[in-house]
A = this chain, B = another copy of it.
Amino acid sequence: MADFEGAPIGFIGLGIMGKPMARNLANAGYDLVISNRSRDDVDTLLAEGDHFRAAANPREVAEQTKAVITMLPDSPDVRDVVFGEHGLLSAMGPGHLFIDMSTIAPAASIEVNDALTARGARALDAPVSGGETGAVNAALSIMAGGGAADFARARPLFEAMGKTIVHVGGPGAGQIVKACNQMVVAINYAAVSEALVLGAKAGVDPEKIVQVLSGGLAASRVMELKGANMIAHNFQPGFRIDLHRKDLGIALATASANGVPVPAAALVAQLFEALAAAGSGDLDHSALVTAYENLAHFQLGGAG
């Protein structure tokens, strides 16, 4: 708890993920200076106890803290919090650590890192996976890019929020690994979807498919956790299609920037586009199976 010279921790971005992450830091004993575009989420936390106090904008957060965590929707949001009119950049300097846990473009992470290190501050990109459940249960996987000493300094904070905590490389490496993660999850959804729709339309009970395939090399966490929901058309998010679509956009751009063809990820990204176009962007990403149902003109036995 005595990290960062006893100073409170800044936390900017109190959405579905950020709020429970901030709560877990408070539960671990940290005092937090919080800021959020919509004031309601700030008030919610302020009402929960004296571990929280509010700042008017990112710069004020940075002025009162030695470490600032951000958990924001996309690259432009992070850029705005750092470089914007009341951004934190001018308040960061030697001894300050910026920890961006958002999922954004690796190039944007590196840009932010460069700007902060030019002022003598330090930065980590530390995106997470595990979704709202992982955030609530302090069970996130955290993939951190940046310097080893900075990672060591941030580790107690990560341990208050996550379970699998890995330093994956230098600046931007966390975002690279997160992009890989989102590709794999999307492609594994495609795999389960194709199996369920083929099997069911060919007359097999899809629950039997999940049962047998889970016993062998075809097993995946997606099948285990989401197979039954896909069959039952239970698409309450969870993690929304719109966000996964955004993450696949980052992954495809990153792949292209690195000269790496990723045809399966590109294919699945197109199916997410189709779902977004059809107005399904607010459903859980497991609703990818409905894109396959539409293609096959066939519905699984769900409520949908």
The one of B129, B209, B218 in contact with A216, judged by C-beta atoms closer than 8 angstroms, is B129
Contact between A216 and B134, CB atoms less than 8 A apart: yes
How often does this chain occur in the complex, in copies? 2
Secondary structure class of chain A's binding surface, majority of residues: helix
Q: Which residue of B lies closest to A239 (CB)?
A: B217
Contact between B143 and A212, CB atoms less than 8 A apart: yes
Map CB proximity to B onto A205-217 as digits: 1 under 8 Å, 0 otherwise. 1001101110111
Contact between A222 and B216, CB atoms less than 8 A apart: no
Q: Given A191-B264, A198-B254, does the pair A131, B177 have CB atoms closer than 8 Å?
A: no
Of listed A143, A194, A197, A267, residue having the most chain B CB within 10 A: A194
- A176–B295 CA distance with the chains assembled, in angstroms: 19
User: Smallest Cβ distance from A144 to chain B, in angstroms?
Assistant: 9
Q: A296 near B: Cβ within 8 Å? A: yes
Contact between A216 and B221, CB atoms less than 8 A apart: yes
Interface residues on A, range: 35 or more
Q: Which residue of B lies closest to A271 (CB)?
A: B263
Q: A201 near B: Cβ within 8 Å? A: yes
- A298–B204 CA distance with the chains assembled, in angstroms: 41
Contact between A260 and B296, CB atoms less than 8 A apart: yes
Q: Which of A28-36, A111-119, A162-170 sits within the interface? A: A162-170
Q: Please list the 10 inter-chain residue pairs (A to B) with the smallest Cβ-Cβ separation, ordered nearest first.
A: A164-B215, A187-B191, A180-B195, A220-B220, A184-B218, A129-B216, A219-B221, A141-B216, A141-B215, A184-B191
A176-B202, A184-B220, A188-B220 given; name 7 further pairs at CB < 8 Å. A168-B205, A181-B213, A188-B218, A194-B263, A202-B260, A260-B298, A264-B264
Show 29 residue pairs from A and B whose CB-CB distance is below 8 angstroms, ordered by the A residue. Answer: A129-B216, A129-B217, A134-B216, A141-B212, A143-B208, A164-B215, A166-B211, A168-B209, A169-B204, A176-B204, A177-B199, A177-B208, A180-B195, A180-B213, A184-B191, A184-B223, A185-B217, A187-B187, A190-B264, A194-B255, A194-B264, A194-B265, A198-B258, A216-B221, A217-B225, A260-B296, A263-B295, A264-B264, A264-B267
